[in-house]
Amino acid sequence: MVMTKEQMEERRRQLAVYDGDLEHARPGYNVGEGWYAILDDLVREFAEIDDLGFLSAHEKWGHLRVSYLYSGDRKEDVEVIVKHAADRCLVSCWYCGEPGQLKQERWWRVRCDEHWSAT
Ligand SMILES: [Zn+2]
């Protein structure tokens, strides 16, 4: 069965978190636990903007990437929230959330000193 564009949009709307419900949002956190608290804040801030739905978060080259659904006129506010979270992730250990730095070993990842050699 091929989904129409409308059905795909509907599916994404069903998956998105609009109300700051962390239980619902956390399965979409495809990042280390050290970043969960930052994403929790982001999901709560998203809930303050009408019709803004959090979809998922992942990491690319050590940087936070966030997927969301939004078609309103507060895109700049949304980008500020995402940028703020991404900036926090850049200085927070992926594993534990303690202060860290972006480091490359086998791949780029933000780590604190203790997790320097974690895999
Ligand atoms: Zn750490």
Higher pLDDT: 119 or 47? It is: 47
Task: Report the chain's mean pLDDT, rounded to a whole number.
Answer: 93
* Ion ligand 1: residue ranges with CB closer than 5 A: 93, 95-96, 98, 112, 115
Domain ranges of the chain: 5-111
For residues 77 and 111, give the distance between their C-alpha atoms in angstroms, rounded to a whole number.
Answer: 29
Which residue would you say has higher pLDDT here, 9 or 56? 56
Whether 52 and 69 have beta carbons less than 8 Å apart is answered as yes
Q: How confident is the model at residue 40 (pLDDT cuts 50, 70, 90)?
A: very high
Distance of CA 93 from the midpoint of ligand 1 (Å):
5
Cα of 17 from ligand 1 centre, angstroms: 28
- Would you state the pLDDT for residue 119? 57
Contacts 24+ apart (CB under 8 A), 21-26: 25/54
Ligand 1 centre distance from Cα of residue 79 (Å): 27
pLDDT of residue 118: 59
pLDDT tens-digit profile of 80-117? 999 999 999 999 999 999 999 998 777 788 999 888 77
In sequence order, which residues have a C-beta less than 8 Å from that of residue 78 and are 6 or more positions away? 46, 49, 52, 68, 70
